[in-house]
Structure 1
Amino acid sequence: MKNTLLALSALILLVACNKEENHADANVHITGTIKGFKKGKLFIQRYADTALVNIDTIVIDGSPTFESHLKLDSPEMLYLVIDRVKTNSVDDNLQFFAEPGNIKIVTYLDKFYSAAKITGSKNQEVYQEFLAVKKRLTDANLDLVAKDIEARKSKNIAQLDSISLKSDQHLKRRYLYTANFALNNAKYEAGPYIALSEIPDANTKYLDTIRKSMTPQVAKSLYGKMLTKYVADRKKAEAAPVQ
């Protein structure tokens, strides 16, 4: 009996040591709960070139909690994708800004994306602040689209001209807000990410101003390097003689 207990203790210690060794180089610890999710799989994905690839797979069997240990060279936008096994939903992909440290994700099976609460990432906080204003701007644009449809039905030319002017002003306002937000948050990796993902076709001088405002640490990050290269490529293309 004593030998059995010793053997079990040794086995537990070995498993614990192996687990620690497997996560020795990890700098991101993700824990979470998906309430109502009892069976299926979770995938943590990142973009590699233009495609999403798995960097971790988590099997859910009975407990709605999950855990992942990752190594990131710098803060990066990742995607938590749920495989419901027997049911399908368009709400299966949760975008979150991961960074070194402890990140916690709490959500529900039936509101996987919309009810998600993500804590532990400053870049996520910055990105969520941007998304809140982006939603208001998007809603305002949808109102203009609805008015445009009605004006076309009634063939109200004067109203169509007014809506067209407002749409142009709204687009400029959206670009200006996004550029200013990225500029004011250039000390976070979310700054260059927002510039690249939301306004890649903005005037080069605006993108270059954001690039110049990045801190040295952000400039060395994944999205900092991407923005620097993108601006350099734009400048080169604009300077090339027209043939």
Structure 2
Amino acid sequence: MTKLNKALSLIILVLIAVSCKKDRDTNFTLNGHIKGIKKGVVYLQKNGDSSDIVDLDSVQIQGEPNFSLHTNIDEPILMYLKLFKNDGEEHYIPFFADKGITEINTTLKNFNFDAKIKGAKQQDLLNEYTDMITKFNNQNLDLMQANFIAQKDNDTIALDSIIRRSNNLIKRKYAFIIQFAMNNKNSAIAPYIALYEMPNANPKYIDSVYYALNDTIKNSFYGKKLNDIISNRNSAAE
């Protein structure tokens, strides 16, 4: 064996050892597959203490569509799978992670929209939530199109009907969001939704979600953030 071959073999062994050590030292693994990818970099990310995004792990892809990313987490939290493919655009898949293994299968062509995520039970709830929100949003798009046609035709009767239906849709959407959070008060998804999906809701509904949480969820990452929002709002009102 030549010196070059020996050196290459040593490098490979070191990389394998480092990879195995990383697997042992972390409690979360993201296994991913991106159909159609030939080259790029994938990142495992989360929100930092401020609004910054923090890189937790990364892998360079060279022809192999399968990859694994690793980190340590203390509790369920929203993370991001980011793909960099040097096209000047940002490509993210948000997902709820918990200790253990999460699997994400997607495509290069529709990286975000084709994502199939299997893992934490909080992610299952997030999938259920986003599926329903998508239905509301699609109904809103239909109403916007109908409104455009009614305005073009100067059909005031149709416009009045569309406005009523639109207002009713908004009420039903917010009612669903609030009820979904309340129905899942024992999950980290509840304070997360109250924080990021109810910005224009009446404060009493946000308070209701928080006070319905059990102590474990109140002391979770999102539970504490929700408490801070409520406390700051109450202090400002005094």
TM-score, normalised relative to structure 1? 0.85
Tell me the equivalent position of 2:167. Answer: 168
Report the alpha carbon displacement of residue 16 of structure 1 after superposing the two structures with TM: 5.8
Tell me the equivalent position of 2:29. Answer: 29
Gaps of 5+ in 2: 2-7
Aligned residue type for 1:171? I
Task: Give the Cα–Cα distance (whole angstroms) in 2 for the partners of residues 14 and 187 of structure 1.
Answer: 44
Tell me the equivalent position of 1:103. Answer: 102
Q: Count how many residue pairs are aligned between Structure 1 and Structure 2.
A: 232
Report the alpha carbon displacement of residue 54 of structure 1 after superposing the two structures with TM: 1.9
Report the alpha carbon displacement of residue 201 of structure 1 after superposing the two structures with TM: 2.3
Report the alpha carbon displacement of residue 71 of structure 1 after superposing the two structures with TM: 1.1
Tell me the equivalent position of 1:236. Answer: 235
Is 2:96 aligned against 1:121? Answer: no
RMSD: 2.5
Tell me the equivalent position of 1:4. Answer: none
Task: Give the Cα–Cα distance (whole angstroms) in 1 for the partners of residues 200 and 25 of structure 2.
Answer: 38
TM-score, normalised relative to structure 2? 0.87
Tell me the equivalent position of 2:73. Answer: 72
Aligned residue type for 1:170? L
Aligned residue for 2:109, secondary structure, equals: coil
Aligned residue type for 1:157? T
Is 2:148 aligned against 1:153? Answer: no
Task: Give the Cα–Cα distance (whole angstroms) in 2 for the partners of residues 230 and 168 of structure 1.
Answer: 28
Aligned residue type for 1:206? Y
Gaps of 5+ in 1: 2-7
Report the alpha carbon displacement of residue 28 of structure 1 after superposing the two structures with TM: 0.9
Tell me the equivalent position of 1:94. Answer: 93
Alignment of 1:133-152 (within 5 A): 133-152=132-151
Identity %: 34
Report the alpha carbon displacement of residue 17 of structure 1 after superposing the two structures with TM: 5.6
